[in-house]
Amino acid sequence: KIVLGIESSCDETAVALVTSDRTIIAEKIASQIEEHAPYGGVVPEIAARAHAEKLAPMLKAVMDEAGLSLADCDAIAATAGPGLIGGVMVGLVTAKALAMASDTPLLAINHLEGHALSPRLANPDLEFPYLLLLVSGGHCQILLVEGVGEYRRLATTIDDALGEAFDKSAKVLGLGYPGGPALEKLAMQGDPQAVPLPRPLKGSKEPHFSFAGLKSAVLRAKDSGEHTDADIAASFQQAAVDCLIDRLEYALERIETPGNLVVAGGVAANQTIRTALEKLAQRHGMRFTAPPMALCTDNAAMIAWAGCERLPLGVFDPLDVAARPRWPLDPQAEPVRGAGV
């Protein structure tokens, strides 16, 4: 089976053709970093316009490169949320038009499900259930993934996402946008114990993360003028890692230990975090899996793959399916005040 995937929920326009036997036949990603960099963050209106300009030519390029037509596709999968509504609508409406014109089934994919299932695209051996740390620009969650469409949320952030904390801290250190990768690089030259930073909610009995206080502490450390930027970066990263490990231990106390620990989302590209997770998995006798870097940050292969995973369920979406700026993966989960989804 072949699925065409479209991603446009944030600042990456992406198209990919993926098969059920895990081959990425062709893919294109256009980042909008240049468009947004002058503003220090993603500007929704600019993002939507950029998606509208780039998407159709990229679709044509991917189909041409693969030498396939829409009639060869078993489904067209597009991100339908959560994300910036303008961008999501550009991708979803494009997918609807293609689906209608070619009489191909439509799949409205939850972007978080794309991240959550992405490790299985690269790792055929990764079976359900797995404990998933989903860390991205807009989310920080621990989920028990029991199957396709079966997600139990065990923890989420009450304020900032971890990627957001990386980006804001990077901004304080003058590292530009997006700051996560730059902060990681700078941290390599610093001492992770040099700056005393808080570990918000460490040891808490509530199923929550919090990163707003950590980000503010980074600002105070910078303003004090007592520390090098590298030490602040390294100490920030260490504090973040400590929070992640503490909350994963919290989650593991409350469930039967699954065989696999998995990380996904843009922040999963961070090597210090990967190493800490690998050690945690070892301590608990779990196998650790992380997707390759290119599958961590936003891409369309993960959306097409989520479509491949959904095909056997035989449930498609109607042409009037709505775009959803907010769309929790686990509808049973308690809503958290102040958090995105």
Contacts of 180 (CB under 8 A, 6+ apart): 163, 166, 167, 170, 266, 267, 269, 270
184 contacts ligand ATP (rule: CB under 6 A): yes
Name the minimum Å distance from CB 267 to ligand ATP.
4
Tell me the CA distances in angstroms from 5 to 1, 52, 144, 152, 275, one per residue in order.
13, 16, 25, 25, 31
- Show the binding pattern over residues 10-49: x = contacts ligand ATP (CB under 6 A), - = does not: x---------------------------------------
What are the structure tokens assigned to 75, written together? 């489904």
181 binds, among Fe ion, Mg ion, ligand ATP, none (CB under 5 to 8 A by kind): ligand ATP
By CB atoms closer than 10 A (0-12, 13-18, 19+), residue 38 is: exposed
Q: Which residues in the 258-317 window bind Mg ion by CB under 5 A?
A: 298
CB 104 within 8 A of CB 307: no
Name the minimum Å distance from CB 111 to Fe ion.
6
- Letter for the amino acid at 149? G
CA angle 130, 322, 311 (to 5 degrees): 45
Contacting residue, 2, 6, 9, 11, with Mg ion by CB under 5 A: 11
Cα 39 to Cα 41: distance, rounded to the nearest angstrom: 6
Choice between 45 and 65, CB closer to ligand ATP: 45
Name the minimum Å distance from CB 271 to Mg ion.
19
Q: Which residues in the 108-147 window bind ligand ATP by CB under 6 A?
A: 111, 115, 136-139
How does DSSP assign 5-67, residue by residue?
EEE-SSSEEEEEEEETTS-EEEEEEEE-HHHHGGGTS--HHHHHHHHHHHHHHHHHHHHHHHT
Axis crossing angle, helix 180-187 with helix 229-253, rounded to the nearest 10: 110
CB 118 within 8 A of CB 130: no
CB 193: neighbour CB atoms within 10 A?
A: 10
Task: Select the span of 28-36, 172-180, 213-221, 329-337 touching ligand ATP (CB under 6 A).
Answer: 172-180
- Show the binding pattern over residues 83-102: x = contacts ligand ATP (CB under 6 A), - = does not: x-------------------
* Binding stretches for Fe ion (CB under 5 A): 136, 298
Name the minimum Å distance from CB 166 to Mg ion.
12
Name the minimum Å distance from CB 66 to ligand ATP.
24
Cα 267 to Cα 166: distance, rounded to the nearest angstrom: 9
CB 48: neighbour CB atoms within 10 A?
A: 18
180 binds, among Fe ion, Mg ion, ligand ATP, none (CB under 5 to 8 A by kind): ligand ATP
CB 341 within 8 A of CB 140: no
Name the minimum Å distance from CB 305 to Fe ion.
14
Tell me the CA distances in angstroms from 192 to 54, 146, 239, 258, one per residue in order.
41, 36, 8, 31
Name the minimum Å distance from CB 139 to ligand ATP.
4
184 binds, among Fe ion, Mg ion, ligand ATP, none (CB under 5 to 8 A by kind): ligand ATP
81 contacts ligand ATP (rule: CB under 6 A): no
Choice between 8 and 136, CB closer to Fe ion: 136
- Nearest residue (beta carbon) to ligand ATP: 266
The annotated binding site for Fe cation is made up of: 111, 115, 298
Choice between 2 and 78, CB closer to ligand ATP: 78
Give contact residues for ligand ATP (rule: CB under 6 A): 9-10, 83, 111, 115, 136-139, 163, 166-167, 178-181, 184, 265-267, 269-270, 297-298
Which chain residues interact with Mg ion by CB under 5 A?
Answer: 10-12, 298
